[in-house]
Amino acid sequence: MAFGSYAQQATQPTGKVYNLSLKDCINYAFEHQDTVLNAQLDVKSADYKVRETTGIGLPQVSGSANFQDYIKIPTTLIPAQFFGGPAGTFTAVQFGVKYQSALGLNLTQKLFDGSYLVGLKASRTYKELSQRSYIRSKIDANVNVTKAYYQVLVSAEQIKLLDADISQLEHQLNETTSENKQGSAEKIDVQRTQVQYNNLVTNRENSIQLLVLSYQMLKFQMGMPINTELTLTDKLEDVQLADSQGATSDTTFYHNRIEYNLLETQKKLNELDVANKKAASYPTLVLNGSYNSSYQDNSLSNLYKTNFPSSFFGLTLNVPIFSGGQRVNQIRESKINVLKSQNDLEAAKNGFLLQANAAHFTYVNSLRSLDNQKRNQQLAQEVLRVTKIKYQQGVGSNIEVTQAQADLESADNQYIQALYNALISKVDQDKAYGRIK
């Protein structure tokens, strides 16, 4: 029976049908899941930040232009005696022309700036941080999609088991009803079997709705519209469930954990912050240059016919001498952040080791539980088979058959739960050991 169709009961298909394996679903999430897409945009933004910071060290050129129309030319008072007048008096004189204009070109170029060099390294490290954050978002998407995919497969497997139980119980109900008509079985036996059958049918209907929700959750984790028609191509038997004891002997696996890599990058940023604080006490040297053209005339039409140019090049050296102890204390504060980053790394290493060990133990126990529940399921099937034979031969009761059927249903449910736990704990172990990329 195809279970993919159940996922369409609560939605309207968009027209396009997807037949995807687990790997396909993960790749789809990498291209459509909003968290992954936003992290990818952050990487692009960080790349622009690197270019922006690099541009600070390149020549900075700016142009300027201005135009002035002196409706009233400024008046200046000068001593009258300069023109033969009496001492102590002033003569009003207007200097300048009605129209003035200037065009300028300015250039600055950093020749040495320690803070800029450190800032350039920091921007590249910031880009590295965004790239690792992008990887973390992909890992999270991988884990979420995988778990949701397994949930769909387990839900479908549960419906298969319910179908088998319903078919078996339906056959038993028909036999019991026939025997009741012949007088060899009591009516209460029919009613007891009918109640059990009705409960199984109800459980199947509920499981179908759960499967629908499981499909929608998978699509949500993939970034796929939930009304899209999706069919899964992988089967439960394709999943390799085995205890990988040898793979857990590596005690340096935490270097593969993206969370540890992020902490390493953060420590590097803190170290660069120390270097930046130190660089603030270094001299800076800047090259300056300027070219200007000045135009003046009382006639607007003749304004730009005569040019009075000026230009210069120069160096500006700035040497920090005393800052009241601010820089020293800023450096000390930044060094404390570096020490805290190192402590975070040590704590994370121990935490990841503990987390991985716990995940491994959980996975091993889940495999044992799955194996045990599988044996219980087989035993329950055998007990039901023998009980039916005894009942048909007249040496058993219908109550025994009903109880054996109930035990099989319970064994099926416990097997399904153990199967789901094993699949989820496998994903958790792979994540804990940094195997998911």
Q: What is the pLDDT of residues 375-398, one digit of tens each?
A: 999 999 999 999 988 888 878 788
Q: What is the pLDDT of residue 397?
A: 83
**Higher per-residue confidence, 85 vs 181:** 181
Residue 10 has pLDDT above 70, yes or no: no
In a domain, 437, yes or no: no
Residue 310 has pLDDT above 70, yes or no: yes
Average pLDDT rounded to a whole number, residues 68-95: 81
For 350-379, the pLDDT digits (tens) are 999 999 999 999 999 999 999 999 999 999
In a domain, 345, yes or no: yes
Number of domains comprising the chain: 2
Residue 1 has pLDDT above 70, yes or no: no
What integer best gives the mean pLDDT of the chain? 89
What is the phi-psi region of residue 434: left when phi exceeds 0, alpha when psi lies from -120 to 50, beta otherwise?
A: left
In a domain, 223, yes or no: yes
In a domain, 38, yes or no: yes
Whole-structure pTM value: 0.84
**Whether residue 417 sits in one domain with residue 378:** yes
**Whether residue 291 sits in one domain with residue 222:** no
Q: What is the pLDDT of residue 3?
A: 47
In a domain, 136, yes or no: yes
How far is residue 148 from each of residues 112, 153, 211, 242, 413, measured CA to CA in Å?
56, 9, 11, 20, 19
Average pLDDT rounded to a whole number, residues 410-423: 94
Q: What is the pLDDT of residue 290?
A: 95
In a domain, 12, yes or no: yes
**Whether residue 374 sits in one domain with residue 266:** yes
CATH of the domain at 141: 1.20.1600.10
**Higher per-residue confidence, 16 vs 364:** 364
Domain of 98 in residue numbering reads as 66-107+285-319
**Whether residue 79 sits in one domain with residue 224:** no
**Whether residue 247 sits in one domain with residue 186:** yes
Average pLDDT rounded to a whole number, residues 204-227: 95
Q: What is the pLDDT of residue 2?
A: 45
**Whether residue 95 sits in one domain with residue 37:** no
In a domain, 365, yes or no: yes
**pLDDT tier at 14 (50, 70, 90 boundaries)?**
low
In a domain, 140, yes or no: yes
Could you give the percent of the chain with pLDDT greater than 90? 67
**pLDDT tier at 243 (50, 70, 90 boundaries)?**
low
Which of 274, 299, 319 is the last residue in one of the domains?
A: 319
**Whether residue 250 sits in one domain with residue 102:** no
**Whether residue 290 sits in one domain with residue 220:** no
Q: What is the pLDDT of residue 247?
A: 56
**Whether residue 166 sits in one domain with residue 127:** yes
Residue 4 has pLDDT above 60, yes or no: no
**Higher per-residue confidence, 166 vs 14:** 166
Which of 302, 319, 336 is the last residue in one of the domains?
A: 319
Average pLDDT rounded to a whole number, residues 244-267: 83
**Whether residue 328 sits in one domain with residue 193:** yes
**Whether residue 173 sits in one domain with residue 90:** no
Residue type, 86: P
Average pLDDT rounded to a whole number, residues 124-144: 95
**Whether residue 18 sits in one domain with residue 155:** yes
